[in-house]
Amino acid sequence: MKKIIISLLAFVMIFSLVGCNKKASNKILVGVAMPTQSLQRWNQDGSNMKKQLEEKGYQVDLQYANNDVNTQIQQLENMITKGCKVLVIASIDGSALTDVLKKAADNDIRVIAYDRLIMNTEDVDYYATFDNFKVGVIQGRYIEEKLGLKEGNGPFIGELFAGSPDDNNATFFYNGAMSILQPYINDGKLVITSKQTDFTTIAIQGWDSAKAQARMDNLITAHYAGGKKLDFVLSPNDSLAIGIVTSLKNAGFGTASKPYPIITGQDCDKPNVIAMINGQQSMSIFKDTRTLASKVVEMVDALMKGEEAPINDTETYNNGVKTVPSFLCDPVYADANNYKEILIDSGYYKESDLQ
């Protein structure tokens, strides 16, 4: 009797294992490679993608690479080995994935570049992002409006920062912002005291807050010691804005006699929204990661059904080898005046998240 029960149990176990496997292998596996968990937005991007893909019946392998290029390549290799049919990649170094993506193509795996374009490869099918040039334009316009430049006010004193040189987006943000600011610099209405205006000089490798803080420290020591005024700092995103604000605070900014300059940002990360409410950062571009994720999920779904993926741009994003068909979502900005409407009423944050 005991023997019969044991064999029966073994049979049930084997049967349910086979059942489990079958269930798992029925689902299409999608690899989602995100750059880092250190910036809040990528955590949201990752969890939105996972949730929305799972709701559509996909199985998801979500990985973060701690901003390390080799880790990301390794993760992509694993995704290929595990049998992923689609790879969704927010690259760390957009130019470092050519070999691993060749391997993906050899295995008939489709590739979607997420937020950041993947450069110098044939093997990327689609790109979904926010309109990156427009992000810079909105930041430039914010400075223009707050300083009253259109009305002829000035001259105003400021400094410029740009993002990581290995991220294709960084040049788009810079070019967008400079399309607004450069004419005022040419006219002498905006004065960049350090004279550091070209992309390479002002770029911050790895979007690193500490490196932005160190550059701002150096600029203050060299040009803004002894209470010299500073009217604006162009920061392309929130991780840089955090470093810039810390540096300014350490140098005694943030008082009635030495107020913070206008400081831009991007991502609406929680600490930055709090900094906006506290008057330390002026604005941040809001890119609703739920919208981007749902576009990419539509793309994945279309690819897997052999249909055309949604795109609205076939001209802007050349990766050096081909122009990648893209979907560009629309960025907006939030500041202390409109953040409730933009971030809370839309359900992105709860009021309690921002305390």
Query: Cβ closer to ligand BGC: 133 or 184?
Result: 133
Give 165 or 254: the residue with its C-beta nearer to ligand BGC.
165
Nearer to ligand BGC, 41 or 141 (CB): 41
The conformation of residue 162, written as its DSSP 8-state character, comes to: B
CB of 34 to ligand BGC, least distance (A): 10
What is the Cα–Cα distance from 269 to 282, expressed in whole angstroms? 13
Single out the residue of 139, 266, 284, 326 in contact with ligand BGC (rule: CB under 6 A). Answer: 266
Binder among 41, 110, 211, 295 for ligand BGC (CB under 6 A): 41
239 versus 281: smaller Cβ distance to ligand BGC? 239
On whether the CB atoms of residues 271 and 349 are closer than 8 A, the answer is no
Q: Identify the DSSP state of 324.
A: P
- Interface map 138-177 toward ligand BGC (x if CB under 6 A): -----------------------------x-x--------
How far, in whole angstroms, is CA 206 from its chain's centroid?
A: 12
Report if residue 267 touches ligand BGC, rule: CB under 6 A: yes
Q: Which residue from 64, 126, 207, 339 is in contact with ligand BGC, where contact means CB under 6 A?
A: 207
- Between 115 and 144, name the residue whose CB sits nearer to ligand BGC: 115
Cα separation, 273 vs 265, whole angstroms: 10
Q: What is the DSSP string of 82-126?
A: HT-SEEEE--SSTTS-HHHHHHHHHTT-EEEEESSPPPS-S---E
- 177 vs 190, which CB is nearer to ligand BGC? 177
Distance (Å, whole) CA 129 – CA 113: 8
Report the nearest approach of ligand BGC to the CB of residue 168 (Å). Answer: 8
Give dist(CA 174, CA 160) in Å, integer. Answer: 9
The reply to whether 116 sits near ligand BGC by the rule CB under 6 A is yes
What CA–CA distance (Å, rounded) separates 276 from 292?
24
Interface ranges with ligand BGC (CB under 6 A) = 39, 41, 115-116, 167, 169, 207, 237, 239, 266-267
